[in-house]
């Protein structure tokens, strides 16, 4: 509920002052501070607006959609002109537009350090992280949309449940049955760590899945992120043979690695530079070797 005083309305203190009633000193001081604060905020707003010229502003064309509000159920684009400063990211610009223009503008963000993966967006026709993408690298106006091929919940927020289900389908964890009895350390060689190092950088942003044409047309396809996660464990020398065999059987299925058509779109948009396509191809080779029989 808003506590802002509408224009033309007066507080009880102001009414008492106009009617000649005595107002205690502490109330007078509070009234004066309130007037000064309101005047200061108004000056700051006017100065901010007057300083927005074409040379240091950027225009955002932001996708808007809200199925729960009448009049906003039809998708549209809203334009926001935001002040530009050196080092400003797409996420910074969205937050400025939300805080100064429309508090209902909805998008996900968290760490602002390209680690959490929550602010993956479709910016100027490409999947990107909002917190990692510099406005200076983009053509103006900047067109911001939710990730393609996923159901939009509101504005720039998409439903990630299918993506999480695909990740869970490859059982992305070590099986406790493979751990020896006792507290013996599970050692890993440096060479093996280097081999799987890039695959461990996945931040579950969903950008690769959104860019994949196969995933868009085939809802059951595991997708590059899930297959990369499977690679991380299948290629880890600490993985038990039984669990590795089970993981390869998951990947060998119709909607596993063989659905990949090697388009490299997932690799191109990955914000952590993971060679996703290479990992998928290596798992294809492992699947072939797994099925070879010599009599």
Q: What is the DSSP secondary-structure string of 174-205?
A: --GGGSPSSS------HHHHHHHTGGGG----
Q: Are 52 and 58 in contact (CB under 8 A)?
A: no
Q: For the chain, give every domain's residue range.
A: 54-157, 161-176+191-291
Three-class secondary structure of residue 60 per DSSP? strand
pLDDT in tens, 82-100: 999 999 999 999 999 999 9
Least-confidence region, from 53-57, 195-199, 223-227: 53-57
At 1 the pLDDT is 34
In whole angstroms, what is the distance from residue 188 CA to residue 186 CA? 7
User: Is the pLDDT assigned to residue 158 strictly greater than 90?
Assistant: yes
| Alpha carbon separation from 162 to 115, 166, 171 (Å, rounded) | 21, 6, 15
Please state, rounded to an integer, the average pLDDT across all residues of the chain.
86
H or E segment and range at residue 36: helix 25-50
- Residue pair 83/96 in contact by the 8 Å Cβ criterion: yes
Are 99 and 107 a contacting pair, CB within 8 Å?
no
* Range 161-176+191-291 has CATH code 3.10.150.10: no
- Could you report the per-residue pLDDT of 179-215, keeping only the tens digit for each? 666 667 788 999 999 999 999 999 999 999 999 999 8
Q: Regarding predicted confidence, which is higher, 132 or 293?
A: 132
User: Where does 54-157 sit in CATH, by number?
Assistant: 3.10.20.30
């Amino acid at each position: 509920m808003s506590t802002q005083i509408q224009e033309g309305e007066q507080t009880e203190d102001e009414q008492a002052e106009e009617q000649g009633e005595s107002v205690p000193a502490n109330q007078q001081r509070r009234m004066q501070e309130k007037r000064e604060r309101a005047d200061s905020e108004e000056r700051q707003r006017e100065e901010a607006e007057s300083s927005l010229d074409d040379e240091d502003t950027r225009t955002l064309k932001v996708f808007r959609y809200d199925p729960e509000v009448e009049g906003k159920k039809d998708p549209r684009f809203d334009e926001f002109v935001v002040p530009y400063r050196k080092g400003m990211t797409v996420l910074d610009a969205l937050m400025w537009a939300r805080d100064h223009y429309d508090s209902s503008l909805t998008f996900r963000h968290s760490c602002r350090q390209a680690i959490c993966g929550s602010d993956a967006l479709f910016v100027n026709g490409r999947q990107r992280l909002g917190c990692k993408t510099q406005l200076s690298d983009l053509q103006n106006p900047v067109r911001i949309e939710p990730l393609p091929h996923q159901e939009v919940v509101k504005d720039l927020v998409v439903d990630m449940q299918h993506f999480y289900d695909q990740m869970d389908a490859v059982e992305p964890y070590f099986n406790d049955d493979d751990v020896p009895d006792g507290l013996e350390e599970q050692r890993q060689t440096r060479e093996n760590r280097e081999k799987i190092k890039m695959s461990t950088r996945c931040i579950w942003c969903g950008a690769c899945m959104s860019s994949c044409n196969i995933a868009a047309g085939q809802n059951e396809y595991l997708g590059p992120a899930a297959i990369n996660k499977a690679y991380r464990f299948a290629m880890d020398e600490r993985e038990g043979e039984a669990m590795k065999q089970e993981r390869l059987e998951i990947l060998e299925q119709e909607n596993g690695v063989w659905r990949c058509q090697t388009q490299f779109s997932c690799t191109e948009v990955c914000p952590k530079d993971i060679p996703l396509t290479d990992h998928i191809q290596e798992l294809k080779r492992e699947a072939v070797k797994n099925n070879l029989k010599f009599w």
